Structure 1
Amino acid sequence: MTSVARRPITPIRPNATGCPGYSETLPCEPQSAGRARILVRAALIAWRLDHLVDDAALVITELVGNAARYSGSRVVRVSVTRPAPDRVRLAVSDRSPALPRLHTPAEDEEAGRGLLLIGAVAHRWDTELRRWGKVVWAEFRVPGDA
């Protein structure tokens, strides 16, 4: 009897969403940030952009957390794409038309710094309204030799 080599089961199966890209639909809850980080890490490692993993994990955690906290949606769509060879875009889509608001918290506040962190870590971020809701995204620049 010959043995058949089996592939290990992975916790995530990224789906192609562009040229190239990965995406996954997740419950709109804070715990989904962990799955989103796995997706982002898988994409960045596949593209040999390991140096972006920590900053991208912080950004996607904030984007998912904001959607869970403020959108009222049942699910979010998380995507990681390369809109150009020199950029990586992380995006979270939800059903709410409410735009994220940049807030400058007081020193003793424990929340309200998410968009400030995203602005400090990512090259740029923005929101695109859609008929069905919005997409909040953040981009990282990729060095030419990556």
Structure 2
Amino acid sequence: MTTKSRPTGHPGYSETLPRQPESAVTARRLVRTACTAWGLPGTAEDGALIVSELVANAVRHARRESIRVMVERIAPDTVRVAVADFSHALPELCTPKDDDEGGRGLALVAELAADWGTHERRWGKVVWAELEGRG
């Protein structure tokens, strides 16, 4: 795990991980560590679930071999969890059929997060979700 100090604002936690399903374990640990360090343990489990979904989407749809997971405290009671990948394909919130095995991840993110979205970049995208603190 790495911590970046910034001249202003709160520290962020980030890690570059292989684009593999097993990276969700490390991403969840990173979110839980950050939330605990910031005294916001109430956001840790929802954040861990959200980052698992974002990592799963990146593993399934992105290209190249790595993804970047970032956890930032953007306000005293707000944590932003994000996953960056090298794909320009934007995530789509869909309504799966009852017997579909997948397709519910972004609906879960939307339900748990205070807000979520995508920032397009020249090299790909960053999908993020914000959690309101419950310390």
TM-score by length of 2: 0.92
Question: Using the alignment, how far apart are the partners of 1:101 and 1:43 within structure 2?
Answer: 28
* Aligned residues of 1:14 and 1:39 also touching (Cα < 8 A): no
Which residue of 1 is the match for residue 83 of structure 2? 92
**Which aligned pairs between 1:43-122 and structure 2 lie closer than 5 A?**
43-122=34-113
Question: Contact (CA 8 Å) 1:36, 1:60: kept in 2 or not?
Answer: yes
Partner of 2:16: 25
Q: Which has the higher contact order (CA 8 A, sep 6+)?
A: 2
Distance across 2 between alignment mates of 1:28 and 1:16: 22
- For the aligned residue pairs, the C-alpha RMSD in angstroms reads 1.3
Could you tell me which runs of 5 or more consecutive residues in structure 1 were left unpaired when the two chains were aligned. Answer: 1-12
Give distance in 1, aligned partners of 2:120 and 2:57.
16
Distance 1:45 1:99 in 2: 31
Aligned partners of 1:128 and 1:134 also within 8 Å? yes
Deviations 1:4-39 (A, max 9, x none): xxxxxxxxx332264211000000111100000111
Which of 8, 11, 15 is equivalent to 2:3? 15
Give the superposition deviation at 1:101: 0.9
For structure 2, the residue ranges without an aligned partner over 5 or more in a row are none
Looking at CA atoms only, which structure, 1 or 2, has the larger radius of gyration? 1
Please, what TM-score do these two structures have when normalized by structure 1? 0.86
Letter in 2 for 1:30: P
CA contact 1:25–1:77 (8 Å) conserved in 2: yes
Q: Name the amino acid aligned to 1:131.
A: R
CA deviation profile, 1:52-98 (whole Å, cap 9, x unmatched): 11111110000000000011231000000012223100000001111
Structure with more of its chain in strand, by fraction: 2
Q: Percent identity?
A: 52
SS of 2:2's equivalent in the other structure is coil
